[in-house]
Structure 1
Amino acid sequence: MSLSPTTLSALYWRETGHVVGALSLTGAGPVTDVAALTGRVLPLGVGVAGALPLAVALPADRLGAVAADEEPGALAEPLSYGVETAEGRARPTLVRLTRWTGGITLAHDGITVRLPQPVLAATTVVALVGDAQETLSARGVIGEGRTSLTLPLSVDDGAYGVLVLAAGWAGRLHREELTTRAPGP
């Protein structure tokens, strides 16, 4: 008995190359039409036990799609993989990105991203912050030899889904809760 070959379609954030979703199909060709895979937006769900799920909405016009070489890890942890491009075309081999923890601080007036070590070259960073109504985005560059930057955003108290994409580093998706503390006596 022969099994039908599987194909992997990977959706990626064009600006940084981060894989934001992957779909494995059996017996069918890969789908590389972003609109066919997502519609107008790709919602990335952020859930926490005991809390309502939030979504960070990724606009389809900022995504690309590629028929990728089979990479089972991309199905379970898509943000841990990236797409490299050459001459404006996505390569089919996904690359594993460097993991990192901590280093993301959301405040009412912006989001600070601190990488664990200085970057060797200018590094593009995109942050998307979503609540039940909308998703805000901000972009910046961490300069060579630096570790951090603060991107301006204006957010109120509440729960937010936060997606941070720093080129070459694994993407991070989590939930943040902002509250204003009453001034002390």
Structure 2
Amino acid sequence: MALTVLYAAATGHVVGALALTGAAAPADPARLVGRALPLRVALGAGRTAVLPLNARDLAATAVDDEPALLTDPLAFGVELSADGRPGPAPARLAVWTGGGVRLAADGLTVTVPVAPTRPAPVVALVSDDQHTHVLAGEIPAEGDRVKLPLAVEPGGTHGVLTLVAGWAGRLERVTVT
């Protein structure tokens, strides 16, 4: 069995995995997911937010067999070599035991429990009634947070996907404070 993963090109987070027998998966993410890979978050009261990751923002690669990739892909990342090639061993990412994601009417604040030693790229998707907001930024070296500008209504509930390089991805329901 071979494992193929789809990962966010900007942060290296694995966002999906598939096990194949026989032929290898196509290297083009669009051939695997179409225009976008939909991630879903239950919002409560029978509502679900769909957060589509655009295929052009994804990459695909074959990796060493790691069964947990199939059940918890956001806990893993793909490490790139100096020449930009993905390595074969998926990396288990640090779990957020502190810090978090706070959504306010004027933006999304992402706080990690330990300040990175070098800038950490951040990508976040926030659901809204009709579309998804795609936010990008970085946590500076020796800093522990970034605020990404966004205007949302107070009190609303949104699905949020947060990817911070080096930390496990978070897919969760967040209420605007």
Question: Normalised by the size of structure 1, how large is the TM-score?
Answer: 0.88
1:49 deviation in Å? 5.4
Q: CA RMSD in A?
A: 1.6
Q: Are 1:45 and 2:36 an aligned pair?
A: no
Cα pair 2:43 2:158 within 8 Å, conserved: no
Q: Are 1:147 and 2:144 an aligned pair?
A: yes
1:115 maps to which residue?
112
Cα pair 2:43 2:157 within 8 Å, conserved: no
**Alpha-carbon distance between aligned partners in 2 of 1:140 and 1:178, rounded to the nearest angstrom:** 20
Number of residue equivalences = 174
Residue 173 of structure 2, aligned match among 144, 160, 175 = 175
**2:56 partner letter:** D
1:48 deviation in Å? 4.9
Cα pair 1:31 1:67 within 8 Å, conserved: no
Question: Secondary structure at 1:55's aligned position in 2?
Answer: strand
2:130 maps to which residue?
133
**1:68 partner letter:** V
Asked which structure has the greater CA Rg, the reply is: 1
1:110 deviation in Å? 0.5
Question: Could you list the runs of 4 or more consecutive aligned residues of structure 1 that deviate by over 4 angstroms after TM superposition?
Answer: none
Q: Are 1:69 and 2:64 an aligned pair?
A: yes
**Alpha-carbon distance between aligned partners in 1 of 2:77 and 2:52, rounded to the nearest angstrom:** 19
Cα pair 1:123 1:143 within 8 Å, conserved: yes
Unaligned runs of 5+ in 1: 1-5, 180-185
Question: Normalised by the size of structure 2, how large is the TM-score?
Answer: 0.91
Residue 31 of structure 1, aligned match among 10, 16, 26 = 26
Question: Secondary structure at 2:78's aligned position in 1?
Answer: strand
**Alpha-carbon distance between aligned partners in 1 of 2:67 and 2:23, rounded to the nearest angstrom:** 17
**Alpha-carbon distance between aligned partners in 2 of 1:91 and 1:15, rounded to the nearest angstrom:** 16
1:183 maps to which residue?
none
**Alpha-carbon distance between aligned partners in 1 of 2:67 and 2:44, rounded to the nearest angstrom:** 26
Q: Are 1:85 and 2:85 an aligned pair?
A: no
1:17 maps to which residue?
12
Unaligned runs of 5+ in 2: none
**2:74 partner letter:** L
